[in-house]
Amino acid sequence: MDYTTLGRTGLRVARLALGTMNFGALTDEADSHAVMDAALDAGVNFFDTANVYGGTAEKGLTETIVGSWFARGGARRDKVVLATKVYGNMAVGGPSWPNHDRLSAVNIRRSVDDSLRRLRTDRIDLYQFHHIDRDTPFEEIWQAIDVLVAQGKVLYAGSSNFPGYKIAQANEIAARTGRLGLVSEQCLYNLAERRAEMEVIPAAREYGVGVIPWSPLRGGLLGGALRKQREGTGARSATGRSAEALADPALRDRVQAYEDLLDGFGLDPGEVALAWLLSRPGVAAPIIGPRTVDHLEAALRATELTLSDELLAELDRIFPGPGPAPEAFAW
């Protein structure tokens, strides 16, 4: 497994991050533990979760499953760079009370303690703001993080789903007061969704923020969705986000061209989609969300795949990016 430093920190993480969003919701505890064991054995040391993961009726369940895995011992916790998130409404069955969601100082401090309890650990290595909070100034957010860092509960802060200007704003305010600021941004980025190249990734690179793409296969769309539909395999490619996306004729044509291209090279679509992300400037570690050990092993193969210049050019032709900023903004 290859490793990289996360943004401008000295924190070394694997080039793939293990996303746990399916644990509890689609994968039971025993199978979730098996996936985490296999990931650690393969050298994956970067685990990503969130306080709201686990399903609508069981928010927090995913963190609980990760915590029960840590509790099995074997120095599991010390071998893992643990990332979780704060923002979402944690109430079950109705709206939350005021100050029980978003990024107020009181909710950040409360949410950290709740996550630590579920995760059965004394620290969160990377604490990520799951969305922007337009009502809370970054001065307040950073003050809350300062307290948690001083207490040893949080080591680094990152963002998720932030626009480029918010990455800049957060880090400019942090810099003015001598703080480290954001060290990572977790954004939607894949071959079929490249808008992050316009502002988010340039902003992240300018500020030394490591990019952690989520949905690298765009909900299965880039994992051979059309082939699986024809073969009647892969239930998720017949329903959900992947099926909705394929209802767009233009996108369906591009996906078909993508699969035909890779058939000619004898390559697996999902592995190529991950390998493409690993080749992109600024990308630290795409987040994979395996539901089984087999899914994990397929993702790991992408780290050993080098894409030729010819293939990269063809991928750009099928899924063209928006172009470089600011030139691409020109009429």
- Specify whether the CB–CB gap between 285 and 238 falls below 8 A: no
Spatial separation of the C-alpha atoms in residues 118 and 134, rounded to whole Å: 28
CB-based contacts of 35, cutoff 8 Å, min separation 6: 18, 23, 27, 290, 291, 292, 293, 296
For β-strands 124-129 and 154-160, DSSP reports them as parallel
- Specify whether the CB–CB gap between 174 and 138 falls below 8 A: yes
Q: Is 207 a catalytic residue?
A: no
Closest CA relative to residue 155, chosen from 248, 81, 232: 81
- Specify whether the CB–CB gap between 211 and 282 falls below 8 A: yes
DSSP secondary structure letter of residue 224? T
Catalytic pick from 3, 53, 156, 207?
A: 53
| CB-CB neighbours of 235 under 10 Å | 10
The residues assigned a catalytic role are: 53
